A and B are shown apart, each in its own frame.
Chain A
Amino acid sequence: MLNVIWLGLIIISIVVAAMTGRMEAINAAAFEGAKTGVTVCLGLLSVLAFWMGMMRIAEKSGLLELLARVLSPIIQVLFPDVPKGHPAMGYILSNMSANLLGLGNAATPMGLKAMEELQKLNPDKQNASPAMCTLLAINTASITIIPTTMIAIRMQYGSVNPVEIVGTTLLSSFAATIVALLIDRMYRYRHIRRHR
């Protein structure tokens, strides 16, 4: 998929440039783009390193687990087909907590462990179970309290108040998550009805 998008973007650009006589412009654009990539990455390095350091403290001190315990009643509602006290629960909770703190890279390992546990509960190993789809829905529309990456980039470009988008991001991702869960529920009922 990514292959097609990337190739498509570049080839289309070259064809269009050839037709409109902008060859010079895209020569410069290619290397300008590469330079921007490096600059952005260096800007990210500082912020990512900082937050991942913070996250490690939260993890080691048991703060993530505490957060997970607070959220556990919600999980019972979202995943009715996962038995209480099953290891999948713990991983789902840690995954959600990491998402809340806006650390996608910390959330992914936890999410993968949760998937493995859900796969053990899944009678049909080829097809995704409803619980797996719910976990995915939560992760694709993850509620983010601190969108670290975007704050970093706003800082880089000299924003007067780089963190002012925290509120808007939180509201918007919260709303999107609600929508995701509602749609997930709708499909889930349909799926269960069909497979009875």
Chain B
Amino acid sequence: MYQWVSLLSLWAIPVTIAFVLLYGWRKQVPVYETFVDGAKGGLTTTIRILPHLIAMMVAVSMFRESGALDLLLRALKPLLDLLHFPEELVPLALLRPLTGTGSLAIATDLIAQYGPDSFLGRLAATMQGSTDTTLYVLTVYFGAVGIRNSAYALKVGLWSDLAGVIFSLLIVSYIFA
């Protein structure tokens, strides 16, 4: 299983790149110019994210160093032990649906602290990558068309976030055991 997954991971990106380029070439797309044009978009996106990332990183870093995080984890510990959930990942699981950049900051922090190839590092990356920021998506999508009442959309989003957290834990535990 592990071999199969790592093989898939290894091949996914080069194959995707080759396929996109060759397909574009066949359709007579000027690949180089188009690539450069698209890459410019990456620059503007990054600049848009930067202030958010700084703001969140400051808050998260302070929260950890002040000992507030330890207090929170101590309060949650009995429940977590019951569920066999690694306590280091609680902040990430809690913030994931609320803030994309905030949870990105926390995931990055975990990877920096425990190393990218540790169990926690892999789990943080999977958890961050496998769900989207429900609150943000809801706000942006419904805000854009003027929907006031989101019906049951928030409930569905939060349930699926919970599912994403649980599946990440199960799958990473199983594959990298």
Interface residues of A (CB under 8 A from B): 1-2, 5-6, 9-10, 12-14, 16-17, 20, 22, 25-26, 28-34, 36-38, 40-41, 44-45, 47-58, 60-63, 101-102, 104-105, 108, 111-112, 115-116, 118-119, 125-130, 132-133, 135-137, 139-142, 144-147, 149-151, 153-154, 157-173, 175-177, 179-180, 183-184, 187, 190-191
Contacts and interface: CB of A to CB of B under 8 A. Distances in A.
A30 B61 contact: yes
B64 interface: yes
A115 B144 contact: yes
Contacts of B38: 52-57
Contacts of B95: 5
A115 B145 CA distance: 7
Interface of B is mostly: helix
A22 B67 contact: yes
Interface of B: 4-6, 8-10, 12-13, 16-17, 20-21, 23-24, 26-27, 29, 31, 34-43, 45-46, 49-50, 53-68, 71, 95, 97-99, 102, 104-105, 107-109, 111-112, 115-117, 121-122, 125-135, 137-138, 140-142, 144-153, 155-157, 159-161, 163-164, 167-168, 171-172, 175-176
Contacts of A130: 151
Contacts, number: 379
Nearest to B152: A187
Contact of B67 (A17, A52, A142): A17
Q: Which 6 A-B pairs have the closest CB atoms?
A: A56-B38, A33-B61, A49-B42, A147-B129, A167-B5, A180-B160
Given A34-B57, A50-B39, A142 B23 contact: no
Nearest to A126: B148
A176 B130 contact: yes
A57 to B, nearest CB: 4
